Structure 1
Amino acid sequence: MIQALAYLARQGRQVLLAGLVLGVLAGLALPDLAGTLQKLVAPVVVILLFLAVLRLGPEGVRAGLAGWRAGVLSVLALQLLLPCLAVGVLLVLQVEAIWAFGLVLVLAAAPISGSPNLAIMSGASAPTALRQLVMGTLLLPATALPVFLLMPGLGAPAEVFVIVLRLLAVIAAVGALGLWLRASGLVTASARSLSVIDGCATLLLALIVIALMGAVGPALVQGVQGWGLLLGVLVLGFGLQMVTLLAAYGRMPDEQAAALGQVAGNRNIAFFLGVLPPALASDLMLFIGLYQIPMYLTPAVMGWVYARKGLRLG
């Protein structure tokens, strides 16, 4: 088992690519499988966060939190300024298409819980990704509420606040457990331990993508609309990463700039499903499924970009 997990850790990028392919095929051949797996998404996300903290340990977490001022400014720019600008443009243009709601929710969302795991796979700074995850979630009530107030049809802002409080409690609990296990010496930073942790994280990330992509396969088979939406989310996801990377390049160490770009493009839009009107949430499932594709292509695609740009990564 340990050898198998170590192999998954070494082949992390390929495993995520396989998860994407399986997610598309499962939506076609086993349409009920995604619905079954979706029930596991919430606990798996919590486990991924625990594994990220466990891998980093107290030293890694302290290193990430050292730049908290820059982290707060990044959150305000990415989660408040950008979505408010997008809402303003969409209201002026009177656009009410489903992709418009998806765009706003992506920009308003905090980074995905797997951000540190993706950073590890691509050589970016996992402590920086964890810092942005924690701060983005902590500030989510303050940043998301104005967006919900400005954009009609997104649902009740107060419900966002309640769900964020629950999420913060979970982050605090699993984070404390991971730090305690490292500080007590029950889990060490040996190469073997880190390899097992990375293997577990890789496997769980692949499981999530299969669960969230049930609507993708049928949509891509049915016609050009699904392919057009896929092109849009690819431009959105990688565009956010590239613009943020270029803006941060030279202003901070390369691995931190890479991590900041990754958290800018990989957002937890699925978090909002619990507070959206049911009809809107159902319509957004295809958008959310397609948005997993740039997320899980991040280590492979952005790893190539980092190499071409000559970034010095860990």
Structure 2
Amino acid sequence: MIVRVLGAAARHGRLLLVAGLLTGFLFPALAQAMRPWLPELVAGLMFVAALRIGPRQALGAVRELPAVVGLVLIYQLALPLAVAGGLWAVGLGGTAAATALILLFAASPISGAPNLTVLSGGDPAPVLRVLIVATALLPVTVLPVFFVAQGLGGAGAVLAAAARLMAVILLAAGAAFTLRHLVLRAPQPPTIAALDGLSALAMAVVVVGLMSQAGPTLIARPAEFAGWLALACAANLGAQLVAARLLNHTRFRDQRTGLSIAAGNRNIALFLVALPPEVTTPLLIFIGCYQVPMYLTPLIMGRLYRR
């Protein structure tokens, strides 16, 4: 019975994500109540994604590691440095919008990237490998970005936050791989579909807490909300489109769905616990708006990725 219900959730996963977004908008009190539980919910997302994929697919061949490291360095070192340089050149360095974009592209992919990849019709294993490597390299890649960016403060707290995030990912993935080895060594298609449905439900729940600032801003200052939403959509979907086009001409062509999703969907919320309040407070509305293109990715980009 549970397997059939979760299988139905998998078939309607895109609608579940939309329902989660709407719930976060319409019930701000619920969103505020869920906000303290976001770390546990994100860890749960990681656990479900790793359980669905399994250790063999997630780790992949050792020979792929150099290519994955190179891709991560482009995503979260070269790209944010280029964005910082471009914003400085046009006189926007130090603004709230500039800080949001630099932090966005300096972050590793969201832990839900494998889940979004499944809902977009792609293989989640490559993006999980990128997620693990990107999180491991974050303490290294973030330092040059902080050095050239304006007004971001010291990097010590960011390194500590990155270490905590890496620990959560390793614990969640390790527990999932152990369970997969002991109980689900060769899951059948109905079981895989049930895990996909569980992922969709988990993401729909998590987004409610992430929308804690978006709903009140939409009501009180709709013009400001519209501006931040436009910036979030341009950054997220634009990065996905550019990545998908460029990856078509590389060895990653067959993996472009997950890797393009990773390019646009980043864990900017990591920096909320690492940077001083005067830096992060103006970014709360951006982070809330950023959930909209993130959770609509399977609906907006799914058809492109399935071509």
Specify if TM > 0.5. yes
1:282 has 2:275 as partner: no
**Equivalent residue, structure 1, for 2:39:** 42
For 1:136-175, list aligned pairs within 5 A: 136-175=134-173
After TM superposition, the structure 1 stretch with the greater mean CA deviation from structure 2, 171-180 or 90-99, is 90-99
Q: Give the superposition deviation at 1:134.
A: 0.5
Is the 1:64–1:128 Cα contact (8 Å) retained in structure 2?
no
Cα distance in 2 for partners of 1:24, 1:87 equals 31
Aligned match of 1:234: 233
RMSD over equivalenced CA pairs, Å: 1.8
- The 5-angstrom pairing of residues 87-106 of structure 1 reads 87-95=84-92, 96-106=94-104
> Residues 225-253 of structure 1, C-alpha deviation per residue, up to 9 Å, x if partnerless?
21122112111101000101100114236
User: 1:109-131 CA deviation, whole Å, 9 max, x = no partner?
Assistant: 00000011111111122011101
Corresponding residue number in structure 2 for 1:7: 8
Local SS of the residue matching 2:187: coil
1:165-244 alignment, distance < 5 Å: 165-186=163-184, 188-221=186-219, 222-244=221-243
Q: Assess if the C-alpha contact under 8 Å between 2:248 and 2:256 holds in 1.
A: yes
> Equivalents in 1 of 2:141, 2:54: separation in Å?
29
* Residue number in structure 1 paired with 2:78: 81
- Residues 258-283 of structure 1: CA deviation (Å, up to 9, x unaligned): 21111000000001101111132222
Q: In the alignment, is the contact (CA less than 8 A) between 1:65 and 1:127 conserved in 2?
A: no
The separation in 2 between residues aligned to 1:64 and 1:265, in whole angstroms, is 25
Q: Which deviates further from its counterpart, 61-70 or 235-244?
A: 61-70
Deviation at 1:255, TM superposition (A): 4.1
Which residue in 2 is equivalent to 1:112? Answer: 110
Take 1:274 and 1:218, find their aligned partners in 2: how far apart are those partners?
Answer: 22
Check the 8 A contact 1:245/1:257 in 2, yes or no: yes
Aligned pair 1:247/2:246, yes or no?
yes
Unaligned runs of 5+ in 1: none
State whether residues 58 and 179 of structure 1, in contact with CA within 8 Å, keep that contact through their aligned partners in structure 2. Answer: yes
Q: Is the 8 A contact 2:161 2:271 kept in 1?
A: no
Shift of 1:186: 5.0
How far did 1:136 drift?
A: 0.7
Structure 2 distance, partners of 1:58, 1:277, is 37
Take 1:209 and 1:64, find their aligned partners in 2: how far apart are those partners? 33
Question: CA shift at 1:64, angstroms?
Answer: 7.0
Contact conserved, 2:214 with 2:289, CA < 8 A, in 1? Answer: yes
Amino acid in structure 2 at the alignment position of 1:127: A
Which secondary structure state, in structure 1, belongs to the residue aligned with residue 151 of structure 2? coil
Which segment is superposed worse, 274-283 or 189-198?
Answer: 189-198
Residues of 2 paired with 1:137 and 1:256: CA distance? 19
Instruction: Describe the superposition over 1:81-112 as per-residue Cα deviations: whole angstroms up to 9, x where unpaired.
Output: 11112222223333232111110011100000
Are 2:243 and 1:263 aligned? no
- 2:110 aligns to what SS in structure 1? coil
Query: Structure 1 pair 125/186, CA: closer, same or farther in 2 (3 Å)?
Result: closer
**51, 57, 60: which one aligns with 1:54:** 51
In structure 1, what residue type is equivalent to 2:44?
A: I
8 Å CA contact 2:146, 2:152 repeated in 1:
yes
Alpha carbons 1:119, 1:125 under 8 Å: kept: yes
Map Cα deviations across residues 160-210 of structure 1 (whole Å, 9 max, x no partner).
112222222222222222112222235641223223322221111111211
Contact 2:35/2:212 (8 A) holds in 1: no
Measure, in 1, the Cα distance between the counterparts of 2:160 and 2:62.
Answer: 25
Distance in 1, Cα, partners of 2:255 & 2:278 = 39
Matched with 2:65 is 68
How far 1:291 sits from its partner (Å)?
Answer: 0.5
DSSP 3-state at the match of 2:296: helix
Match of 2:54, SS state, is helix
How far apart, in 1, do the equivalents of 2:193 and 2:71 lie?
A: 31
- The whole-number CA distance in structure 1 between the counterparts of 2:304 and 2:215 is 28
Taking only the aligned residue pairs, the percentage that are identical comes to 38
In structure 1, how many angstroms separate the alpha carbons of the residues matched to 2:102 and 2:61?
28
Number of corresponding residues:
304
8 Å CA contact 1:124, 1:255 repeated in 2: no
